[in-house]
């Protein structure tokens, strides 16, 4: 592994976990140790899992799969809203609307109501109403904008859900799992790896750390050409890359990080 990459990750605070009394034993394999009551991630394993996620996301995006980034945590909002906008995917940054995925038909009607009110406010159609009626409509528009303003273009359930801090966005991951959607996440030491197919073990409490992760994901999602034909052996390519990264890890730590297969077929409801 390139020492400069390791140093950059360290400078961006990816190694800092949660307090030692606030963790999930399932993350033990990714923890290097602890300092002053704070867990410290093994950055070599963090790097390996980050590379796996990047490879998998690129393969899925090239098939035209749409990603919903769930980043309602304050530290993650700006970076992942920008990432989703610039790469043509969806995002939620204000709050997770319960049953957004599992009851999407109802949510879709609410989005339609939001779009209608938005159009009325822009065209001046609300001006013909009484002050009380106009105020009521504008209040509803404000609430809907906060909930659905970033989902205006989402016409169907996304193929992939990417949670920024899997523990914080647990409800979103549960809905994704119930629909058999491919789930990715950035997990701190209190995260649950069983909730997702792929994850990045890293600090989810620092803006610098999440900005770094967003930049790394952008490097593989920007300019991805969507193939009209499903790439052959897409999963094999991911597995081959995983094997290469494993070899690098053997030379440095002699510990093989567990890898998971990406699911490429989803059931849309």
pLDDT (tens digit, 9 = 90+) per residue, 8-37?
Answer: 999 999 999 999 999 999 999 999 999 999
Q: How far apart are CA 139 and CA 85, in angstroms?
A: 26
| Domain of 80, in residue numbers | 3-100+157-223+230-252
Q: State residue 258's pLDDT score.
A: 47
Count of domains observed in the chain = 2
Is 122 contained in some domain? yes
Cα dist from 28 to 31, 41, 60, 70, 255, whole Å: 5, 9, 29, 25, 13
pTM: 0.78
Same domain, 172 and 127: no
**Is 147:137 a contact under the CB 8 Å cutoff?**
no
Same domain, 126 and 34: no
Same domain, 172 and 136: no
Is 260 contained in some domain? no
Give the confidence band of 226 by pLDDT, cuts at 50, 70, 90. Answer: low
Is 215 contained in some domain? yes
Is 265 contained in some domain? no
Q: State residue 227's pLDDT score.
A: 53
In this structure, what token pair is assigned to residue 234? 């897409």
| For range 212-224, the mean pLDDT | 93
Question: How open is the CA angle 227-224-160, to the nearest 5 degrees?
Answer: 85
Same domain, 134 and 219: no
Is 267 contained in some domain? no
Res 231 pLDDT > 70: no
Same domain, 184 and 212: yes
Same domain, 114 and 168: no
Q: What is the CATH number of the domain that holds 81?
A: 3.40.50.10490
Closest C-alpha to 191, from 165, 212, 211, 209:
165
Same domain, 95 and 44: yes
Same domain, 243 and 178: yes
Give the confidence band of 228 by pLDDT, cuts at 50, 70, 90. Answer: very low
Average pLDDT, the chain: 85
Q: State residue 129's pLDDT score.
A: 87
In which order are the strands placed within the sheet that holds 16-19?
16-19, 38-41, 31-35
Q: How far apart are CA 184 and CA 186, in angstroms?
A: 7
């Amino acid at each position: 592994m390139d020492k400069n990459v390791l140093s950059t990750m360290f400078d961006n605070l990816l190694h800092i976990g949660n307090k030692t009394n606030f963790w999930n034993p399932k993350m033990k394999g990714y923890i290097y140790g602890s300092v002053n009551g704070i867990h410290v991630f093994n950055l070599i394993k963090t790097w390996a899992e980050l590379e796996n996620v990047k490879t998998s996301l690129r393969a899925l995006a090239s098939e035209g799969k749409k990603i919903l980034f769930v980043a309602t945590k304050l530290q993650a909002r700006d970076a992942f809203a920008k990432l989703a906008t610039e790469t043509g995917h969806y995002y939620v940054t204000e709050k997770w609307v319960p049953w957004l995925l599992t009851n999407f038909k109802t949510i879709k009607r609410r989005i339609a109501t939001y779009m209608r009110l938005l159009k009325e406010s822009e065209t001046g159609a609300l001006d013909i109403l009484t002050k009380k009626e106009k105020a009521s409509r504008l209040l509803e528009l404000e609430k809907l904008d906060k909930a659905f303003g970033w989902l205006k273009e989402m016409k169907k359930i996304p193929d992939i859900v990417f949670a920024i801090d899997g523990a914080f966005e647990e409800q979103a991951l549960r809905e994704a799992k119930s629909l058999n959607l491919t789930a990715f996440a950035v997990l701190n030491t209190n995260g649950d790896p069983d909730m997702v197919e792929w994850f990045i073990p890293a600090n989810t409490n620092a803006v610098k750390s999440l900005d770094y992760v967003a930049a790394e994901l952008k490097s593989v999602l920007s300019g991805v050409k969507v193939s009209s034909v499903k790439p052959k052996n897409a999963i094999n390519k991911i597995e081959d890359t995983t094997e290469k990264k494993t070899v690098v890890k053997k030379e440095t730590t002699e510990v093989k990080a567990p890898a998971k297969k990406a699911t490429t077929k989803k059931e849309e409801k």
